[in-house]
Amino acid sequence: MIGRLLLLCALATVASPRCPGAVRWSAVLRQPATWYATAEAHTVADNVLLWQTPSGGWPKNHDMTVPPAPHDLDAEDVSAPTIDNDATWTQLRFLALVEAAQPDARYRAAFQRGLDYLFAAQYANGGWPQFYPRLPGYYTHITFNDDAMTGVLELLRDVARGKAPYDKIDDATRTRAAAAVKKGLACILRCQITVNGQKTVWCAQHDEITFEPVPARTFEHESLSGSESVGVVRFLMGEENPSPEIIAAVQGAVAWFEQVKLTGIRVIAIPDPKLPHGHDRKVVADPSAPPLWARFYEIGTNRPIFGGRDTIIRYTLAEVEPERRGGYRWYVEEPAKLLEKDYPRWAARWIKSN
């Protein structure tokens, strides 16, 4: 059956350039180094150029292994370049890998336009909005949600350091990238939420003027993030010579993660074709389950919070309507690796024992 599908796809390629290739867009940054010199990588890169918007950024939620269809170009979101859902910085990393493997002036120009887009989108205070040009609403907030801002900063830090495949970038651009990273670091430290004198973590989004934690969608309340804060901490730990302020920020966040971890529970999916997502989710007791963290914690109490499209804060997942209960990731596991492996290695190097 698989062979037949591949044959059909190969035959369709003759008539339609939109037949997806063997590599999925979600995996374009995880290929062997030799793949980026292949004809397939070259074709994908050509398609990525077609998706680039006039501002230099890229839209989200599109398969960019294929070129845009006419209806894609007419769609409203194509005119809304963003850093949400890994957009723009993923395309830039991909173009850099392909250009390093098979130099092409078109890829270099598109890459530079994309960097210029990121430089232009950054607020003077160091943060990034979710969309640029800015759209009204919560999209203007400094956005850590889904690792948007940290994804940009990781890229710019690699550019600033001249790390391959960014080692051919000119000094002026690297200097701009370093300045953007410096401002971004200051913004991160400014946004860290302090509760009763103790540094904790970050909200998924912060006000672009006051730096205060703010809500986004109706079910995403201002809170302490058990998910996005992991990426923020990892970015801070990636600094080559962390300042005392960075070290204190990391220590405060790690202590908070330890404090709020949830043990003895497991989240299970229960198939139910009658529900919007084809399943329900339920929290059950399980003493042997690995630790979990809530996606959101109430500021001041550290109680896990949940919500639906009615904007009301709930304190158990069971209270949320089935559509949101089964359609959103309310619990995460990512802090476990941070606490068990990443932080101990980092602390051994940078935290002096008394």
What are the DSSP calls for 95-119, one per residue?
HHHHHHHS--HHHHHHHHHHHHHHH
- Between the CA of residue 161 and those of 125, 179, 182, 232, what are the distances in Å? 22, 12, 13, 19
Burial class (CB in 10 A: 0-12, 13-18, 19+), 336: middle
Run of H or E including 332: strand 331-332
Q: Where are the domains of the chain?
A: 12-190, 192-354
Query: Alpha-carbon distance 28 to 239, whole Å?
Result: 26
DSSP label at residue 262: B
Average pLDDT, rounded, for the chain: 93
> Which among 258, 247, 249 is positioned nearest to 350, based on CA atoms?
247
DSSP label at residue 260: H
> Which among 163, 54, 169, 64 is positioned nearest to 114, based on CA atoms?
54
> Which among 286, 305, 158 is positioned nearest to 225, based on CA atoms?
305
DSSP reduced 3-state for 33:
helix
Q: Would you say residue 310 has pLDDT above 80?
A: yes
Q: Which fold has domain 12-190?
A: Glycosyltransferase (1.50.10)
Please name the residue ranges forming H helices in the chain.
Answer: 2-15, 39-51, 70-74, 89-101, 105-121, 148-161, 171-191, 228-237, 244-260, 322-325, 335-337, 343-350
Determine contact, residues 303/257, Cβ cutoff 8 Å. Answer: no
Looking at residue 5, its pLDDT comes to 34
Helices vs strands, H then E, count in the chain: 12, 12
Biggest CA–CA distance in the chain, Å, is 70
Q: Same CATH fold, 192-354 and 12-190?
A: yes
CATH of domain 192-354: 1.50.10.20
Looking at residue 2, its pLDDT comes to 38
Determine contact, residues 123/208, Cβ cutoff 8 Å. Answer: yes
Catalytic residue list: 85, 217
- Higher-confidence residue of 50 and 79: namely 50
Q: What is the pLDDT of residues 218-255, one digit of tens each?
A: 999 999 999 999 999 999 999 999 999 999 999 999 99
The mean per-residue pLDDT over the stretch 25-37 comes to: 98
Q: Would you say residue 63 has pLDDT above 70?
A: yes
Q: Would you say residue 57 has pLDDT above 70?
A: yes
Run of H or E including 276: none
Run of H or E including 138: none
Query: Alpha-carbon distance 283 to 312, whole Å?
Result: 20
> Which among 60, 87, 92 is positioned nearest to 166, based on CA atoms?
92
Query: Alpha-carbon distance 96 to 89, whole Å?
Result: 11
Looking at residue 18, its pLDDT comes to 57
Query: Alpha-carbon distance 193 to 226, whole Å?
Result: 13
Q: Would you say residue 1 has pLDDT above 70?
A: no
Looking at residue 4, its pLDDT comes to 32
Q: What is the pLDDT of residues 165-181, one digit of tens each?
A: 999 999 999 999 999 99
Q: Would you say residue 88 has pLDDT above 70?
A: yes
Query: Alpha-carbon distance 156 to 88, whole Å?
Result: 12
- Higher-confidence residue of 1 and 94: namely 94
Looking at residue 15, its pLDDT comes to 32
Looking at residue 352, its pLDDT comes to 81
Split at pLDDT 50, 70, 90, the class of 72 is confident
